[in-house]
A and B are shown apart, each in its own frame.
Chain A
Amino acid sequence: MRERIVLDLGKLPLHGLGTASVTWWGTLAFMLIEGTGFALAIAVYLYLMSMATAWPINTQAPDLLPGTLVTLILLASLVPNVLLSRWAEQQDLGKVRIGIVIMSLLGTVPLIVRIFEFPALKVSWDSNAYGSVVWTLLGLHTIHIITDLVDTLVLAALMFTRHGHSPRRFGDVQDNAMYWNFVVATWLPIYGCIYWLARL
C-alpha cells in the first residue's frame, strides 16, 4: 500500500519512564503472577487449616521473635527504598549509588535473620501438612527475597560502570525499587498467616 505521512514522531524521547516504559508494565505483570501464586499458597494454608481438628498440628505456634524482626527490617527498608526510587527519578547518580548499596545490604540482612525463622517454626516440612505448608510459604518468600537481592546486586554493580548514567538504568532502579515494595507487601499477609493465624 502507498503510504501517506500524517505524523512526526521524531520529537519523542528515546526511552520512556514509568508508565511509558514497557519494563515497568512487565514488572507489574510479573508481580500479578507472583501475587496470584502467593494468594493461592495462602489459600492452601487456609484450606488445610479448615480441614484440621487442631491447628497447628501436633506442635506449638512458631516463635514470634525472628519473624517479627524480619518484618520490622523489611518495613524499615521501605524508607531508603522509596528515597532510592526518588533519586533515580531525579537521575542523581551519586545518591543512587549510595542508595542501591544500602538496599543491597537491606536485602541481605533479612536473609540472615530468616535462617533463624525456619527452626522457630518448631515443625519440619515432613512432619505433617501444617509443617509442609508453613515451610513452603516461608520458602517461597525466601526465594522472592533472594531473587530481588540478586537483581539489586547486579544493578548495583551496573550503576558503578559506564552504563550507569542513563535514563534506562535509572528506570531499572525504579522498577527494582517497585519490586522490593512488592516483596515487602507480600510478606505481610504471609507473616500474619504463619505467626498469628496459628495463635487463633
Chain B
Amino acid sequence: MNRPATTTGMRDIDIARTKLTGALAETWTTPSGFWGALATVDHKIIGRRYIFTAFVFLALGGVLAALMRIQLAQPEARLLGPDRYNQIFTMHGANMMFLFAVPVMEAVAVYLVPLMVGTRNIAFPRLNAFSYWIYLAGGMLLWTAFALDMGPDVGWFAYVPLSGPQYGAGKRADIWAQMITFTELSALAVAVELVVTIFKQRAPGMTLDRIPVFVWAMLVTSFLVIMAMPAIMIASTSLILDRLVGTHFYNPAEGGDVLLWQHLFWFFGHPEVYIIFLPAAGMVSTMIEPFARRPAFGYLGLVMALIATGILSFGLWVHHMFVAGLPRLGDSFFTASSMAIAIPAGIQIFCWIATLWDGRPVFKTPLLFIIGFIVTFVIGGLTGVMVASVPFDTQVHDTYFVVAHFHYVLIGGAVFPLLGTIHYWFPKLTGRMMSETLGRWSFWLIFIGFNATFFPMHILGLEGMPRRIYTYQPDLPWHGLNLFISLSAVILIAGFLLFFVNVIRSARSGEVAPDNPWDAPTLEWATTSPPPSYNFAMIPVVGSLHPLWSERDTLPVADGLRTDRRELIVTTLATAEPQARDASPQNSIWPLWAAIATTIMLIWSIFSPWAVVWGSIPVAVALIGWFWPKGTPEDES
C-alpha cells in the first residue's frame, strides 16, 4: 500500500492487533487521577458526567415537587409559606427545563452520537468539556442561590413586569436570568459540536439515508437550539440590562413593552418543547428496532416528520399568549399551526405502531417504556390539540389543566423514552446490564403513579383550580382530588427511587454485558461495552442503514490511520466519502480555566456592568491558552 509522504508516525496496518489497541489506548487515554479527570476531552466521560449531573438535578427537582404535593395535599396547609412556595415552583420549572430536560437529551447525544456515526470523538471536544463545566456552574448558581433564600420566585418564564426592576426586588430574577445564560451557552456549544459531528465525522459510507433516526433527531434538535436559544439569551440579557443599568425594554412608561418579553420568551420557549421531545422521538425510533426485531417502519416518514416538526415549531409560540389580547387573525393562524404540528407527531406514532404490529416484540423494560410513552404522549397530544383552540384555552389558561397537559407531554413524551434509553444503553455506558425485574417494577410504578398523579389535574383545572397557588380554602371543591394526587405521587416517587436503586446496583454488580446484548443494528454495538477510549480500533465502513444486521459475521472497516496521533476521518456531507484524516484535540485543562473565568464574569455581572469589561480579560487569556498550538502530533497537517 502507498504511504503518504507526510506521514512519519506509526500506522494501524503496520502492527499486530494487540499492539494496535495498545498504541491507540496510549494515544487516546484519559490519565487516571484528579488532574486527568479535569482535563479529559473524551466524549464518553463527559457524556456520562453530563447524564449523571442531569439526573441529580432531576432528583432535586423531584424533591421540590414532593414538597409542593405535601403542601397541597390538604387545604390551608402551613408547611410552606407563599414566598417559599413561589421560589419552589419557579425552581422546579427552571431546574427541570434548563438543568434537566434539555441538558440530559444533549448529554445522551454527547455520549452516543459519535459512537453511532462511527467516529472516535465528538467534534470540538474541548468545547464539549467547556460546555459541561459551564452547565455545572449554572446549576450550582441556581441551587446555591435557592439555599441562600435568593432563589428566583417569578415562575420559570419570568414574565415582566413581575421580574422587572419595579416588582422583582433583590437579585432573585437576576439569578434566573444568568442561569439562563449559563445553560444556553452550554446548550449552544453542544449543538454546534453535534451538527459538525453529524455533518462531517460520519463513518465512510454512512450516506444521509443510512443515518440512524436518533442521530437525525439530534441534528434537527441542534438546529432548533441554534435558531431558538439566541431569543432567550437576548431576552435574559435585556432583562438584566433593565434591572442593572436602567434600560427600558420592558417599561411601557418609556416606550418599552411587556408583551415583547412574552414574544421573545416563547419564540424560544415553544421550540424548546421540541428540543426536548425530538431527541426522545429519535430514541424511540432507534430503540424500537431490536425489540420489534425488524427495521422501523417508514424511515423516510420518521425523518421527514422530525424535520417538519422542527420547522413548524417556530410557528407556534403565540399559542402561549392567547389570553394576552393579540389580534384575532394572529390567534387563528397560531391555532392552525398548533393543530398542524399534530400531523408529523401522528405520522411517527403510526410508524411505531406499524413497527410493533409487524414485528415480533420482545417485552423488555425499554419496550415497556416505549409503549408507556406512546399511550401517555397521545393523551398529552390530545389535550394539546384542545388547548390550541382559543376559546378552550381561554377557559383553562393558568389552571391545573395546563399543568396536566404539559406534564403528560414532557414526562410522557420525553422522560419515559429517556428512562427506556437508560435501560437500553446502560450496557454501553457501564459495561453491565440493568436488572429486568427491578426495571419492570419501576416501569409499572412510574406508569401507574404518573397517570394517577397527573390525570386528575385535568379535572382540577376544569374545576377552576389555578396554577401556582400555595394553598386553597377548605370550602373549595378541590381537596379530595388534591389528596388523591399527593398520595399517587408517592407511587410515582417510589418508582423513581426503584429506578435509581436499579442504576446504582447494576452499575456495581450487574451482569457483565457483551458487545451487543440486544442484537441491535447500529454501530455503537460494534465496539466493546463500554467502548475503549478510541471507540473503534478501526473506523467502520457503512453499507446500509442497519450495518450490524446486514453484515452479521464481520464488520467492514478502513485502515491507514496513524496510532501516535488522535486521528479521525472527515467525510463529505451528503455521501460520507472520506476527505481527510484530521486530528482530534488532546486533553487540556484550559477549557476548565476558561469556564471558571466565564463563570466569574457572568456572576459578577449580576452586580456590576463593569464585570463584562474586566471579567472578559481572564476569559480571553484562557481562550488563547486553549487554542495556542502545543506542537503535538495533532497539530501536524
| Chain A residues in the interface with B (C-beta under 8 A) | 1-16, 19-22, 25-26, 29-30, 32-34, 36-37, 40-41, 44, 47-48, 51-52, 57, 125-133, 135-136, 150, 154, 158, 163, 166-168, 171
Ordered by A's residue number, 9 sampled pairs between the chains whose C-beta atoms are within 8 Å are A8-B1, A8-B13, A9-B578, A10-B7, A37-B234, A48-B249, A128-B256, A136-B238, A166-B636
How many whole Å from B339's CB to the nearest CB in chain A? Answer: 26
Q: Are B631 and A14 in contact (CB under 8 A)?
A: no
Using Cβ atoms and an 8 Å threshold, which residues of chain A touch B569? 9, 12
User: Which of chain B's residues have a CB closer than 8 A to the CB of A19?
Assistant: 573
Given contacts A166-B635, A168-B635, contact A1 B263 (CB under 8 A): no
Q: Is B541 an interface residue (CB 8 A)?
A: yes
Give Cα distance in the complex from A168 to B554, angstroms. Answer: 36
Residue of A13, A128, A154 near B580 (CB, 8 A) is: A13
A98-B124 Cα distance, complex, nearest whole Å: 30
A22 CB contacts on chain B under 8 angstroms: 123-124, 196, 200-201, 570, 582
Pairwise interchain contact B629-A158, C-beta atoms closer than 8 A = yes
A109 CA / B583 CA spacing, docked (Å):
37
Which residues of A sit under 8 angstroms from B554, Cβ to Cβ? 1-4
- Is A9 a contact partner of B581 (Cβ separation < 8 A)? yes
B257 touches A163 (CB 8 A): no
Contacts of A34 in B (CB 8 A): 230
B278 within 8 Å of A (CB atoms): no
Partner of A132 from B188, B200, B231, B241 at Cβ < 8 Å: B241
Contacts of A13 on B, CB cut-off 8 Å?
Answer: 4, 6, 580-581, 637
The answer to whether A14 and B583 have CB atoms under 8 Å apart is yes
Cα distance A12–B229 when bound, in Å?
Answer: 37
How far, in whole Å, are A132 and B257 apart by their CA atoms in the complex? 12
Q: Which of A6, A10, A44, A163 contacts B260 (CB 8 A)?
A: A44
| Residue B83 CB within 8 A of the other chain | no
Q: How many residues of B contact A (CB 8 A)?
A: 78
8 Å CB contact of A1 from B255, B260, B515? B515
Question: In chain B, what residue has the closest Cβ to A49?
Answer: B255
Interface centre among A10, A150, A166, A171 (most CB of B within 10 A): A10
Question: Does residue B2 face the partner (Cβ distance < 8 Å to A)?
Answer: yes
Which A residue sits closest to B192, measured CB to CB? Answer: A29
Q: A2-B554, A3-B555, A26-B192 are in contact. Are A10 and B230 (CB under 8 A)?
A: no
Q: Which residues of B contact A25 (CB under 8 A)?
A: 123, 195-196, 199-200
Checking B201, B264, B267, B541 against A6 with a beta-carbon cut-off of 8 angstroms, the contacting residue is B541
Q: Are B192 and A14 in contact (CB under 8 A)?
A: no
Known: A4-B555, A10-B13, A125-B245. A51 touches B255 (CB 8 A): yes
Output the least CB separation between A140 and chain B (Å).
Answer: 9
- CA separation between A4 and B553, bound complex, in Å? 10
The interface stretch among B31-39, B324-332, B488-496, B556-564 is B556-564
B248 within 8 A of A: yes
State which of B41-49, B144-152, B462-470, B620-628 sits at the interface with chain A: B620-628
Instruction: Determine whether the beta carbon of A129 is less than 8 Å from that of B248.
Output: yes
CA distance A152 to B385 in the complex (A): 52
Q: Are A21 and B541 in contact (CB under 8 A)?
A: no
- Report A-chain residues with C-beta under 8 Å of the C-beta of B123: 22, 25-26
Distance A150 CA – B123 CA, assembled complex (angstroms): 24
Q: How far is the CA of A128 from the CA of B201 in the complex (A)?
A: 49
The chain B residue with its CB closest to the CB of A5 is: B559
Residues of A close to B238: CB separation below 8 A: 44, 132, 136
A51–B570 CB distance below 8 A: no
Residue of B nearest to A54 (CB): B255
**B247 on interface, CB distance cutoff 8 Å:** yes
Distance between Cα atoms of A16 and B579 in the complex (Å): 7
**B241-268 Cβ-contact flags toward A at 8 Å (1 or 0):** 1100111110100111100100110010
Contact between chains at B556 and A4 (CB < 8 Å): yes
Among residues of B, the one whose C-beta sits closest to the C-beta of A161 is B629
In the assembled complex, which residues on chain A have CB atoms less than 8 Å from the CB atom of B162? none
The answer to whether A15 and B249 touch (CB under 8 A), given A1-B526, A4-B557, is no
CB–CB B555/A1 < 8 A: yes
Chain B residues whose CB sits within 8 angstroms of the CB of A44 once the complex forms: 234, 238, 249, 260, 264
| Smallest CB-CB A-B distances: 6 pairs | A10-B560, A15-B637, A16-B580, A129-B255, A132-B247, A126-B246
A21: contacting residue among B246, B267, B558, B582, CB under 8 A: B582
Residue of B nearest to A155 (CB): B627
Chain A residue contacts of B636, Cβ below 8 A: 14-15, 166
Additional 9 contacts, C-beta under 8 A, given A15-B583, A29-B196: A1-B515, A3-B557, A5-B559, A9-B560, A12-B569, A34-B230, A129-B254, A132-B249, A163-B629
Chain B neighbourhood of A10, CB < 8 A: 1-4, 7, 11, 13, 559-561
- Complex contact A11–B4 (CB within 8 A): yes
The residue among B1, B188, B559, B637 with the most chain A CB atoms within 10 A of its own CB is B637
CA distance A7 to B637 in the complex (A): 22
Question: Does B233 touch A at the CB level, under 8 Å?
Answer: yes
B226 at the interface (CB under 8 A from A): yes
Contacts of A52 in B (CB 8 A): 255
Complex Cα distance A158/B353, Å? Answer: 58
Interface centre among B233, B255, B264, B636 (most CB of A within 10 A): B255
Cα A14 to Cα B635 in complex, Å, equals 9
Decide if B417 is an interface residue (CB 8 Å cutoff).
no
Q: Does any Cβ of A come within 8 Å of B140's Cβ?
A: no
- Assembly CA distance A40 to B637 (angstroms): 39
Contacts of A132 in B (CB 8 A): 238, 241-242, 247-249, 256
In the complex the two chains form, what is the Cα distance from A71 to B192 in whole Å? Answer: 30
Q: Nearest Cβ in chain A — how far from B265, in angstroms?
A: 12
Q: In whole angstroms, how far apart are the Cα atoms of A20 and B577 in the complex? A: 11
CA distance A132 to B255 in the complex (A): 10
Q: Is the CB of A14 within 8 A of B541?
A: no
Q: Of residues 97 to 149 in B, which have CB atoms within 8 Å of A's CB atoms?
A: 123-124
- A179 to B394 Cα, complex, angstroms: 47
- B637 CB contacts on chain A under 8 angstroms: 13-15, 166-168, 171
Query: How far, in Å, is B631 (CB) from chain A's closest CB?
Result: 7
CB contacts (< 8 Å) of B11 on chain A: these are 10
Complex Cα gap A3–B581 (Å)? 20
- Select B230's contact among A9, A36, A163, beta carbons within 8 Å: A36
Q: Which residues of the other chain, A, contact B372 by a CB distance below 8 angstroms? A: none
Minimum CB–CB distance for B202 against chain A, Å = 12
B192 A37 Cβ-Cβ under 8 A: no
Chain A residues within an 8 Å CB radius of B558: 5-9
> Given the complex, which residues of A lie within 8 Å of B538, measured CB to CB?
3, 5
A26 to B555, CA, bound (A): 31
* A150 to B616 alpha-carbon distance, docked (Å): 12
Shortest C-beta distance, B612 to chain A (Å), equals: 9
Answer whether residue B539 sits at the interface, using C-beta atoms and an 8 A cutoff.
yes
Contact bitstring B212-251, A, C-beta under 8 A = 1, else 0: 0000000000000011011101100010011001111101
Report the Cα distance A8→B1, complex, angstroms: 8
**Any chain A CB within 8 A of the CB of B204?**
yes
Give the CA-CA distance A12 to B263 in the complex, in Å.
49
Residues of B close to A166: CB separation below 8 A: 635-637
A14 touches B581 (CB 8 A): yes
Quote the shortest CB–CB distance from A58 to chain B (angstroms).
9
Complex Cα spacing A22 to B195, Å:
10
